[in-house]
Amino acid sequence: MSLEIIALQVCEAAKEAGQFLLKERKNFDQSKVEEKSFNQLVSYVDKTSEELLVEHLKKILPEAGFITEEKTIATDEKEWMWVIDPLDGTTNFVHALPVFSVSIGLIQQGVPKLGVVYEPNRDELFYAWIGGGAWMNGNRIHVKTNKELAKSLLATGFPYYDFHIMPMYLDTLNSLLKSTQGMRRMGSAAVDLAYTACGRFDGFFEYGLSPWDVAAGIVLIEEAGGVVRDFKGGKDMLFGRTILGSSSAIYPAFISIIQENFKKMN
């Protein structure tokens, strides 16, 4: 099958999982939340959503393996791997904040080839595949054309468990707050990346993320005409724990501030 056909089938899987999230949110019992580790929440909703996705994706590409957040299926290294976050924004979900998403990426030998992010609260489906452009609900999307960092709106994610480079992060916020039109923190990295791809944000950066947080968003931004890099300006965004995505126009100024403030990072 072509990547386009696979992407459209993955969209259906994402929507099914997203509708499940909305249904469960209506009567969600906060007492059912577990803490995997400090500030990393999980519930039966995350796990069930992941199981739904795994079963659906197995049928689309039976030869592919899985990298999943909730570990409902073993990770067997294969050429093609699904990278799944069944509920990106669990803390928002638990506290009834209507910003969370389903994120599905497909990688080939470690390289992202396809991405789908579904935000069910707004019924917005973002999808892209290599060479096919980026789309939202059937309409082509592009990153912003604004060329000035001073006129940009950026997104980030606050550290919630990994605080070892917090001083550098706070220095970066200090620099960006003084040189942009503002910063936003949505609480779902997949949504931040999707919003950057469709031009709502000029750029996004965060550290401490996992592959399932970013695999889909990498493809979305690149196919929307943007740039995605790690904080060193390299391409180790998927497993390297740092990511910056933006329009090509503001990338040089944006990465310059990131690198200046994170220069002491190993």
> What's the pLDDT tens digit per position in 120-177?
999 999 999 999 999 999 999 999 999 999 999 999 998 777 778 888 999 999 999 9
CATH code, domain carrying 247 = 3.40.190.80
Where residue 126 sits, what CATH number does that domain have? 3.30.540.10
Task: Give, in degrees to the nearest 5, the angle at Cα 261 between 255 and 264.
Answer: 115
Task: Tell whether 266 is covered by a domain.
Answer: no
CA atoms of 136 and 37, how far apart (whole Å): 34
In the block, which residue shows the tokens 């039109």? 181
User: Which residues make Cβ contacts (< 8 Å) with residue 33, sequence separation at least 6?
Assistant: 41, 42, 43, 94
pLDDT in tens, 189-246: 999 999 999 999 999 999 999 999 999 999 999 999 999 999 999 999 999 999 999 9
Residues 39 and 110 in one domain: yes
Structural domain that includes position 256: 149-261
Residues 7 and 133 in one domain: yes
Q: Give the list of residues 6+ apart from residue 75 with CB closer than 8 angstroms, or none.
A: 65, 66, 67, 68
Q: Does the residue 162 lie in any domain?
A: yes
- ∠ CA(142), CA(19), CA(98), 5° rounding? 65
Check whether residue 70 and residue 163 sit in a common domain.
no
Q: Same domain for 102 and 167?
A: no
Count of domains observed in the chain: 2
Same domain, 165 and 136: no
Domain boundary among 140, 171, 196: 140
Same domain membership, residue 81 and residue 160: no
Residues 184 and 155 in one domain: yes
pLDDT in tens, 24-61: 999 887 777 777 655 456 678 889 999 999 999 999 99
